[in-house]
C-alpha cells in the first residue's frame, strides 16, 4: 500500500509517545481500505515499569473521506473565521503574526483549529479541508442510517464505540473481532505488511457480503408485501 501521509495535528506527550493525532492520507484506494480501521483498537501488553501485570489500553480511530472539492461541502458564508497567534515551535513568525486559524460551522457548531503551518493561508486551507471532511462524513452517516439500519460492519466514524481489534503483545497475536480471526505477528500488522492487507481484504469481502444480504432482504420484503396485496 503505497500511500503518502501528511501530519495535520500531533499532540505529543512530554514523556514520549502521542496523545492524539490527525493525519491526511493520500493514494489510490486509501479510504476504501482504511475505513475498516475505524473503531476502538485495544492493546494488551506489559508496561516497561511493571512486568508483573498485563496492561490494557485503547485507541480510538476515526476515518473520514476528503472531498475532492471543499466548496461542495462548505463555503465561506457558512463559516465563522477567527485568526490568532499560534503557540509552540515555529520561530519568531509564530509570535509576531496571527497565523493560527479557527473555523466554526454556523449551522452545526463544529469547530476546527489549525496552527501547525507557518502561514495563515496554509492553516486556513488545511482547516477548510478538515471541516469539509467532517461535514461530508456526517452526510454519509445520515444516508447510511436511512438506507442501512441492519448492517453490522461499522465503517468510517460510526465505529467509535465499537471494539474492532486487539493487539496482544504477550502472545504476539492480532485479533480482529469483526472477522473472528487471529493473526500472528503484532509488529508485522502494525507496520502495514501483507498481514494487514489480508485483514483489510477479508473485511472488504465481509462488507460486500453483508451489503448483498441486505439488498436481497429488501427485495424479499418488497416481494412479500406485493404478494400480500394481490
Whether residue 187 sits in one domain with residue 173: yes
Q: What is the pLDDT of residue 71?
A: 77
Distance between alpha carbon 206 and the CA centroid of its chain, in Å? 19
Q: What is the pLDDT of residue 170?
A: 92
Whether residue 77 sits in one domain with residue 135: yes
Domain ranges, residue 195:
1-63+156-230
Taking the chain, what is the end-to-end CA distance rounded to the nearest angstrom?
54
Q: What distance separates the 2 farthest-apart alpha carbons in the chain?
A: 79
At residue 45, what are phi and psi to the nearest 5 degrees? Answer: -160, 170
Q: What is the mean pLDDT of residues 120-148?
A: 83
Measured distance CA(170)–CA(46) in Å, rounded = 7
CATH number at residue 105: 3.30.160.20
Residue 108 has pLDDT above 90, yes or no: yes
Whether residue 219 sits in one domain with residue 178: yes
Measured distance CA(131)–CA(43) in Å, rounded = 30
The helix or strand, by DSSP H or E, that contains position 102, with its residue range, turns out to be strand 100-105
Residue 156, burial from CB neighbour count under 10 angstroms (0-12, 13-18, 19+) = buried
pLDDT tens figures, 50-91: 778 889 999 999 888 888 777 778 888 999 999 988 765 544
Say how many domains are in the chain.
2
Residue 118 has pLDDT above 90, yes or no: no
144 within 8 A of 24, measured Cβ to Cβ: no
Helix, strand or coil, per DSSP, at residue 118: coil
Whether residue 176 sits in one domain with residue 72: no
Whether residue 183 sits in one domain with residue 124: no
Residue 23 has pLDDT above 80, yes or no: yes
> How many secondary structure helices (H) and strands (E) does the chain include?
5, 10
Q: What is the pLDDT of residue 226?
A: 52
Measured distance CA(230)–CA(216) in Å, rounded = 21
Whether residue 77 sits in one domain with residue 148: yes
pLDDT tens figures, 181-222: 999 999 999 988 888 999 999 999 998 888 888 788 766 555
| Of 126, 155, 184, the domain-final residue | 155
| Of 135, 155, 175, the domain-final residue | 155
Q: What is the pLDDT of residue 117?
A: 84
Is the entire prediction scored with pTM above 0.85?
A: no
What mean pLDDT, rounded, does the chain reach? Answer: 82
Residue 149 has pLDDT above 70, yes or no: no
Lowest pLDDT segment from 19-23, 94-98, 162-166, 224-228 = 224-228
Measured distance CA(117)–CA(27) in Å, rounded = 22
Measured distance CA(137)–CA(45) in Å, rounded = 33
DSSP alpha helix (H) spans, 42-110: 92-96
| Of 99, 125, 155, the domain-final residue | 155
Measured distance CA(87)–CA(20) in Å, rounded = 18
Residue 228 has pLDDT above 70, yes or no: no
Helix, strand or coil, per DSSP, at residue 139: helix
Residue with cell 502472545: 171
Q: What is the pLDDT of residue 222?
A: 58
157 within 8 A of 63, measured Cβ to Cβ: yes
Q: What is the DSSP secondary structure assignment for residue 198, as one 8-state letter? A: H
Residue 8 has pLDDT above 90, yes or no: no
Amino acid at each position: 500500500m503505497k500511500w503518502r501521509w501528511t501530519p495535520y495535528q500531533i499532540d505529543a506527550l512530554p514523556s514520549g509517545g502521542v496523545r492524539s493525532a490527525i493525519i491526511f492520507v493520500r493514494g489510490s484506494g486509501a479510504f476504501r481500505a482504511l475505513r475498516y480501521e475505524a473503531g476502538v483498537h485495544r492493546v494488551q501488553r506489559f508496561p516497561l515499569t511493571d512486568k508483573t501485570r498485563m496492561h490494557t489500553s485503547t485507541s480510538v480511530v476515526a476515518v473520514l473521506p476528503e472531498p475532492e472539492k471543499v466548496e461542495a461541502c462548505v463555503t465561506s458564508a457558512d463559516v465563522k473565521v477567527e485568526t490568532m497567534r499560534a503557540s509552540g515551535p515555529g520561530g519568531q513568525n509564530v509570535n509576531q503574526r496571527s497565523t493560527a486559524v479557527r473555523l466554526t460551522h454556523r449551522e452545526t457548531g463544529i469547530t476546527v483549529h489549525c496552527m501547525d503551518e507557518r502561514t495563515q493561508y496554509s492553516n486556513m486551507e488545511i482547516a477548510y479541508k478538515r471541516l469539509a471532511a467532517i461535514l461530508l462524513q456526517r452526510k454519509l452517516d445520515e444516508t447510511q442510517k436511512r438506507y442501512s439500519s441492519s448492517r453490522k460492519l461499522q465503517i468510517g466514524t460510526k465505529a467509535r464505540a465499537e471494539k474492532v481489534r486487539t493487539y496482544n503483545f504477550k502472545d504476539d497475536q492480532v485479533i480482529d473481532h469483526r472477522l473472528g480471526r487471529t493473526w500472528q505477528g503484532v509488529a508485522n500488522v502494525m507496520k502495514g505488511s501483507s498481514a494487514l492487507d489480508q485483514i483489510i481484504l477479508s473485511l472488504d469481502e465481509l462488507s460486500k457480503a453483508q451489503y448483498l444480504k441486505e439488498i436481497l432482504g429488501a427485495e424479499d420484503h418488497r416481494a412479500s408485501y406485493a404478494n400480500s396485496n394481490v
